[in-house]
């Protein structure tokens, strides 16, 4: 390999991610690699100690390798050292001086971390220089950039922390252009812009024009995957809603049995929603453990305890049906024993009168003969609305979330959404009369019609859901 031109046929493009310590280098890698588990991220200096790579693939092949590096900590002292090194040798250029430094003992002692970084930059096609734009521009930063310039590789500055309340972006832009660095990318690794990839790799392509076609392919491939993930997420939510809407549990008419069956119904619905959450997390590359550790304890608590509570409904702005017992909207129950409606003599905890009427109107007559002497429990409309709104919110929040995010997902006010009131979407109404469509109920059958209804509902969720950015 030629020291100045580290290229080679089909080999992946290598990009070193460098910068002062604690500026978010590892976080940027996590975001670009969509891998919340990459490396170690902490709000303290010298977190990354070794060079570590993450590959970005297209069709299973690595197109780009990103190299995380330790933070530069002592560029000022290293430049002084390099100047002294230059004095007692032949007159050389910056690149030759860096190469000479890498052969000295100091490169494995006092400047060990800096040497690792510079070696990786020389072994790469380009470097991303990550900047914490909350910092003032200091001598040490100029020295870091001067060292990088000596490595004879294109450098793309990445302005990180741009969403922070106090930044010094104009001062940084000014300082960078004085150093001849005019192509700059703005990024916030925690709240990355929707077109962040396209911007970053697009600017990189301007610095590495021979590599522009494969960088373009990479961007297109990532955009395609983003669209596919969004469609898949809507399908995951739609399938859960159909399973829940179609679910019917038949219970003997006595109150004790009804209560047991109602508990089962609730548990089944909760478990089904939890599965939906797990599937969405996996789809977007977030781990369940990331969530319980970092992000969603509050959310999980709500999943476990509040799905059937009035507070949860109010919070999402779902109107409870007329007559829903205060503090509880659970399943609708039809007491078929009496050929009419009953609240189970008031003992069905949280039975929803609104739901009862709906259910009776729809199935009462037809089912009476079949299930005489039985009670039938279904999930109330208000619960379906709540599930739809919550999962729609989650899928949008995950689509937006960067893989370097450390804070719990923030609950946002849910925009006015047609799912809150008015008629339930037609696919959900249709599922009501197909108990066999529920994969969590008895006698499940996955028919072509069920699939078509899931597709229709997914499309409907796509119309309602806020776009990811
Ligand atoms: N708000 C915000 N926080 C960020 C951003 N980027 C990184 N952080 C936080 O900054 C801290 C340092 O991030 P790291 O990714 O570990 O930084 P690093 O440059 O790899 O650090 P070293 O490996 O120690 O050199 C962590 O607490 C991150 O969560 C950002 O864009 N916005
Ligand atoms: Mg790091």
Q: What is the pLDDT of residues 441-460, one digit of tens each?
A: 988 999 999 999 999 999 99
Residues with CB under 5 A from ligand 2 (ion): 25-26, 47-48
Residue 311 vs residues 266, 316, 317, 351: alpha-carbon distances, Å: 17, 9, 10, 16
Clarify whether residues 310 and 427 are in a common domain.
Answer: yes
The whole-number pLDDT of residue 347 equals 28
Among 37, 41, 191, the mutation site with the greatest number of ligand 1 atoms within 8 A of its Cβ is: 41
Decide which of 329 and 204 is more confident.
Answer: 204
Per-residue pLDDT, 411: 58
Residues 152, 278 within the same domain: no
Instruction: Note the pLDDT tens digit of each residue in 221-235.
Output: 999 999 999 999 999
Q: How many domains does the chain have?
A: 2
Domain end position, chosen among 139, 173, 207: 207
**pLDDT for 467 beyond 50:** yes
Q: Which of 175, 207, 239 finishes a domain?
A: 207
Q: Determine whether the shortest distance from the Cβ of 43 to ligand 1 is under 6 A.
A: yes
**Which structural domain range is residue 375 located in?**
231-464
Q: Is the pLDDT of residue 324 over 50?
A: no
Residue 157, ligand 1, Cβ within 6 A: no
- Take atom 11 of ligand 1 and give the residue whose Cα is closest: 43
What pLDDT is attached to residue 285? Answer: 86
Range name among 14-18, 31-35, 240-244, 252-256 with the lowest pLDDT average: 252-256
CA separation for the pair 361, 429 (Å, rounded): 13
246 and 156 assigned to the same domain:
no
| Ligand 1 atom with least separation from CA of 188 | 31
Across the range 54-82, mean pLDDT stands at: 93
Count of positions (residues) in the chain: 469
Asked whether residue 156 carries a pLDDT value surpassing 90, the answer given is yes
358, 417: one domain? yes
Can you tell me which atom of ligand 1 is nearest the CA of 30? 15
Asked if 197 and 283 sit in the same domain, the reply is no
Average pLDDT, the chain: 79
Nearest CA to ligand 1 atom 27: 43
Q: Is the CB of 451 under 6 A from ligand 1?
A: no
Instruction: Enumerate residues 6+ apart whose C-beta is below 8 A from 174.
Output: none
Say yes or no: CB of residue 22 within 6 Å of ligand 1.
yes
Q: Do 250 and 177 reside in the same domain of the chain?
A: no
Tokens of 316: 């999402």
Q: Give this prediction's pTM.
A: 0.78
Asked whether residue 1 carries a pLDDT value surpassing 50, the answer given is no
Q: Look at residue 27 and tell me whether its pLDDT is greater than 70.
A: yes
User: 218 lies in a domain?
Assistant: no
161 lines ligand 1 (CB under 6 A): yes
Phi-psi region of 27 (alpha: psi -120 to 50; beta: other; left: phi over 0): alpha
């Amino acid at each position: 390999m030629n020291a100045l031109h580290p290229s080679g046929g089909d080999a992946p493009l290598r990009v070193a991610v460098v910068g002062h310590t604690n500026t978010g280098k590892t976080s940027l890698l996590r975001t670009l690699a969509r891998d919340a588990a990459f490396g170690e991220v902490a709000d303290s200096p010298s977190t990354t100690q070794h060079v570590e790579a993450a590959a970005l693939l297209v069709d299973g092949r690595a197109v780009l390798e990103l190299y995380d590096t330790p933070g530069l900590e002592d560029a000022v002292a290293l430049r002084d050292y390099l100047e002294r090194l230059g004095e007692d040798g032949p007159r050389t250029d910056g690149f030759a001086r860096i190469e000479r430094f890498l052969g000295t003992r100091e490169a494995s002692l006092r400047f060990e971390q800096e040497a690792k970084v510079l070696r990786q930059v020389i072994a790469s096609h380009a470097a991303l220089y990550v900047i914490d734009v909350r910092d003032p521009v200091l001598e040490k930063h100029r020295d870091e950039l001067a060292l990088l310039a000596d490595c004879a590789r294109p450098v793309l500055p990445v302005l990180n922390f741009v969403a922070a309340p106090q930044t010094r972006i104009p001062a940084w832009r000014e300082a960078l252009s004085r150093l001849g660095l005019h192509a700059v990318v703005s990024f916030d690794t925690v709240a990355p812009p929707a077109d962040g990839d396209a911007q970053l790799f697009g600017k990189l392509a301007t610095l590495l024009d021979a590599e522009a076609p494969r960088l373009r392919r990479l961007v297109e491939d990532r955009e395609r995957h983003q669209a596919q993930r969004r469609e898949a997420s809507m399908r995951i939510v739609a399938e859960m809603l159909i399973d829940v809407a179609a679910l019917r549990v038949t219970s003997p008419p006595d109150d004790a049995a009804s209560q047991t069956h109602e508990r089962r119904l609730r548990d089944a619905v909760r478990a089904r929603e939890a599965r939906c959450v797990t599937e969405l997390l996996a789809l977007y590359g977030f781990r369940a453990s990331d969530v319980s550790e970092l992000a969603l304890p509050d959310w999980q608590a709500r999943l476990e305890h509040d799905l059937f509570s009035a507070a949860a409904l109010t919070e999402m702005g779902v109107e409870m049906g007329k007559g829903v017992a205060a503090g509880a909207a659970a399943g609708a129950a039809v007491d078929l024993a009496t050929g009419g409606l009953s609240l189970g003599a008031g003992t069905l905890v949280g039975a929803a009168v609104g739901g009862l009427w709906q259910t009776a109107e729809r199935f009462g007559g037809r089912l009476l003969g079949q299930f005489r002497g039985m009670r039938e429990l279904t999930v109330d409309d208000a619960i379906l609305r709540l599930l739809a709104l919550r999962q729609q919110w989650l899928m949008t929040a995950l689509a937006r979330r960067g893989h370097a995010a450390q804070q719990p997902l923030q609950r946002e006010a849910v925009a006015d959404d047609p799912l809150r009131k008015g008629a339930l979407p037609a696919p959900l109404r249709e599922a009501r009369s197909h108990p066999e469509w529920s994969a969590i109920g008895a006698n499940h059958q996955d028919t072509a019609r069920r699939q078509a209804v899931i597709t229709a509902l997914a499309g409907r969720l796509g119309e309602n859901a806020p776009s990811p950015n």
